[in-house]
Structure 1
Amino acid sequence: MPFNLPRIAREQGLRRPVALRPIIPTQAMATDLAAIYAPAWQVWRDHSAAIMAAYDPKPLTDGLTTDSPEQAQTEIDSAARDFLSRLLVEITPALRRWVVRAERIHRDKWAAAVEAGTGIDLSTLLTAGEVSETVEAFVARNVALVRNVSDQAQSRISDAVFRGYQNRTPAREVAKEVREATGMARARSIRIAADQNSKLSSALDRERREEAGLTKYKYRHSGKLHPRQNHKARDGFVYVAKTGESTNGGPKIPTDDRASMAPYCGCREQAYIDLLDEID
């Protein structure tokens, strides 16, 4: 249920603006999410032997070929069906369990940040209901992402196999391409999991600030070694969430480039309680 945290804080005797400590998503949660994504590449690794066993291009004879790639296609289709089955039975429920746990952890950290910054205990006031839309959107988005990881792996493997038939490529070379496709899918799933872990945390940050009646945040740069310079330039400035305008001289933030929106962005938006605005 929405409430007015600045008003509560003022009633508690606070008079100065407070920037709450940021909630940093943990690497452990990203690792757990990557494990949920893993079947998207593991299924292709596990089926690669059968796919390669079916790969058998014949030498050209008098300019003709008697290749029959149907068996290879059958094995590729079998792997795709295996993944879709796991997506329904295993991956989607696991994603839902993960995001429910992530929301609960974030809620506890948010309550702790508010208490540390203001002395106000929100633990009995906060519920998962206020962020249920964000939770459902995250599950749907990640079902689509994990499916895309598998689709890309299937596309690369299919291309390697059928291009191999066209070019009479030796099996060992095609097998190498299949392994590379699987490796690329694995690396991509790990990157996506890290990015989605950060994006969910930022989305929950925004939902909780809105629930608490907070309209401003303080930008905190990620501190990464090779940062986006326009993100680094925002560090430490206070912003109005709806407009992206800074209240203390920072560069304006486009609505589609807030913290964590860009791929692999680790910047955060610290909730800012501008109590001075609440005093007549």
Structure 2
Amino acid sequence: MRYDLAGLVQRAGRTRRREIVFREVRLPGTLASDLYAAIYAPVLDVWGKAIAPLIDEYQRSLSEITTDAAPELSGVITSTDAATAALLVTLRVRLERWAAMVEAAHRSKWLASINRATGIDAGMMIGPGDMRATLGTVIERNVELVRSVSDQARSRISDAVFRGLTEKRPAREVAAQIREAVAMGRRRALNIASDQLSKAAETLNDQRRAEAGLSTWEWVSSHKAHPRAEHAARDGKRYDDKAKSGPHKPPQDRPGQLIHCGCTSRAVLTLDGEF
């Protein structure tokens, strides 16, 4: 705990309420679009640009049936893979910038939520440095995910090319399969970007509450058309991070942490120490 928000509220004497429920912090979806555009799309663009040289080499290999067909095709794939690996080095810097934007947006909304609910200006008590370790984890996770997206695209492209060569499929058919492999990568990357924003936001929610000395929170359902039944049932239920057992012990699958979970949480400040 970096500061005692409950103590600040009590000393300010601006409320007689025993309980304050804060507005949940939700980050704009444009940050997910930014993540995709800055991090994931450039890697898939490299694979997209490899389609033409791959098909040119495939056509030559298919028509000539030379013994060096497979090595030449492998060379195009290997050089493309090397280009994506080199790109990942620069993408880490972009990821750091994106994470900084996420932290700033979250901090702004969290401070506004505190001020709206309590009249307290906590701006001097929290800063970007507090979340450095948390954001470091977010960055490393996305480095691995973008590498996974690239690896999956390479695997699908390699399979299409060499299976096509073995079965002597027409170049246009193989080209269509390669384009679909890249398109599948883009669809997966878009989903990952959205999911990673939700996870980052909820991780920051947890950290900001702990920083303020708040352990109580409410589950806020995503209210999606097809939510997880157990998550929808938790909507509005209250949990305490200090609880080791009983109905207020938080579930293992916390909001926003399962894949594509859009649930979030809102902080609760109790001035009498009771639910």
Q: Which amino acid aligns with 2:261?
A: C
Deviation at 1:276?
A: 2.2
Query: Is residue 17–residue 272 contact of structure 1 (8 Å, CA) maintained in 2?
Result: yes
Counterparts of 1:187-266 in structure 2 under 5 Å?
187-243=187-243, 245-247=246-248, 253-255=250-252, 257-266=253-262
Counterparts of 1:135-154 in structure 2 under 5 Å?
135-154=135-154
SS state of the match for residue 262, structure 1?
Answer: coil
Query: Is residue 240–residue 250 contact of structure 2 (8 Å, CA) maintained in 1?
Result: no
1:40 aligned onto 2:43: yes
1:83 aligned onto 2:79: no
Deviation at 1:172?
A: 1.1
Q: Which amino acid aligns with 1:275?
A: L
Question: What's the counterpart of residue 275 of structure 1?
Answer: 271
Query: Partners in 2 of 1:271 and 1:135 — Cα distance?
Result: 21
Question: What's the counterpart of residue 23 of structure 2?
Answer: 21
Query: Is residue 41–residue 186 contact of structure 2 (8 Å, CA) maintained in 1?
Result: yes
Query: Partners in 1 of 2:43 and 2:230 — Cα distance?
Result: 35
SS state of the match for residue 200, structure 1?
Answer: helix
Deviation at 1:277?
A: 1.1
Question: What's the counterpart of residue 52 of structure 1?
Answer: 55
Question: What's the counterpart of residue 115 of structure 2?
Answer: 115
Question: What's the counterpart of residue 164 of structure 2?
Answer: 164
The alignment-based identity, stated in percent, is 39
Q: Which amino acid aligns with 2:152?
A: Q
**C-alpha offsets along residues 211-268 of structure 1, whole Å, 9 cap, x if unaligned?**
1000110111011111101000000111112448544xxxx6432x100011111111
TM-score, structure 2 as length reference: 0.92
> Where does structure 1 lack aligned partners over 5 or more consecutive residues?
none
RMSD: 1.9
TM-score, structure 1 as length reference: 0.91
Structure 1 stretches of 4+ moved >6 Å: none
**C-alpha offsets along residues 184-236 of structure 1, whole Å, 9 cap, x if unaligned?**
00111111000111111101110010010001101110111111010000001
Query: Is residue 218–residue 238 contact of structure 1 (8 Å, CA) maintained in 2?
Result: yes
Deviation at 1:16?
A: 2.1
Give the 3 Å change call, closer, same or farther, for CA 166–82 of structure 1 in structure 2.
same
Query: Is residue 217–residue 239 contact of structure 1 (8 Å, CA) maintained in 2?
Result: yes
Give the 3 Å change call, closer, same or farther, for CA 242–83 of structure 1 in structure 2.
farther
Query: Is residue 221–residue 263 contact of structure 2 (8 Å, CA) maintained in 1?
Result: yes
Q: Which amino acid aligns with 1:178?
A: I
Give the 3 Å change call, closer, same or farther, for CA 60–82 of structure 1 in structure 2.
closer
Query: Is residue 55–residue 69 contact of structure 1 (8 Å, CA) maintained in 2?
Result: no
Query: Partners in 1 of 2:262 and 2:147 — Cα distance?
Result: 24
Give the 3 Å change call, closer, same or farther, for CA 35–58 of structure 1 in structure 2.
closer
Counterparts of 1:59-138 in structure 2 under 5 Å?
66=67, 68-89=69-90, 91-138=91-138
SS state of the match for residue 277, structure 1?
Answer: coil
Aligned residues: 269
Give the 3 Å change call, closer, same or farther, for CA 29–54 of structure 1 in structure 2.
same
Query: Is residue 205–residue 269 contact of structure 1 (8 Å, CA) maintained in 2?
Result: yes
Query: Partners in 2 of 1:46 and 1:58 — Cα distance?
Result: 21
Q: Which amino acid aligns with 1:30?
A: A
SS state of the match for residue 69, structure 1?
Answer: helix
Give the 3 Å change call, closer, same or farther, for CA 78–245 of structure 1 in structure 2.
farther
